[in-house]
Amino acid sequence: YSSSKGGSSNIWIMESDGSGKRKVTEKGGEYPSFSADGKKIVFVSYRDNKYGDIYTVDVNSGKEVRITSDRNIKLYPSFMNDDSKLIYSSIEFDTNKNGSLDLQDRSIIRFMDLKNNLSYPLTKYSESSFKAKWLPVLQTRDYKGVIIYTDITGENINLNIIPETGIIPKKL
């Protein structure tokens, strides 16, 4: 979980009964999500970038790795089936035309493959998509899970399920 106890927001972990609380980050962290094996946490930190950057931290050693460093707003990172693939909400364009990126602009779900240095959008820029999670269900020969996420259409918040490859066709 993240807590601003002591001033800035940092990532903490604890046992399921609430015992053994331990701060995992020292320089800030929000929106934590564990890897499937529980050995890593992916999170956003605003320590070096006002738009936030994605980091991972090894739970046992505390070693952090910065994953992104760009001018897009990043929110809600999450691991996929292993700790080399991530999805997260990304605000990349000033869609409300107020002259700057902010949380009122539309977001997409972005995929990152850390091993192969690939990154691409999984959802359309015309809708605001956020809070994606990968689930190991509905496995086929083409994919090993699905992505569940929310979007806003008008005044409605919708729950969506898409293949882990996204809804945007990829050129091969």
- Tell me the pLDDT tens digit for each residue of 34-55: 999 999 999 999 999 999 999 9
pLDDT at 139 over 80: no
Least confident of 7-16, 36-45, 83-92: 7-16
Q: Which residues contact 57 (CB under 8 A, 6 or more apart)?
A: 11, 24, 25, 29, 40, 41, 43, 63, 64, 65
For tokens 């293949």, the residue is 163
pLDDT at 31 over 70: yes
pLDDT for residue 55: 97
pTM: 0.89
pLDDT for residue 164: 86
Band (171; pLDDT cuts 50, 70, 90): very low
Q: What is the mean pLDDT of the chain?
A: 90
CB 34 within 8 A of CB 12: no
Angle subtended at Cα 2 by Cα 87 and Cα 105, rounded to the nearest 5 degrees:
50
CB burial readout 143-157, b (16+ within 10 A) else e = ebbbbebebeeeeee
Distance between CA atoms of 13 and 7, rounded to whole angstroms?
18
Distance between CA atoms of 146 and 143, rounded to whole angstroms?
8
Amino acid (one-letter) located at 38: G
pLDDT for residue 82: 87
Amino acid (one-letter) located at 10: N
Band (138; pLDDT cuts 50, 70, 90): confident
pLDDT for residue 172: 42
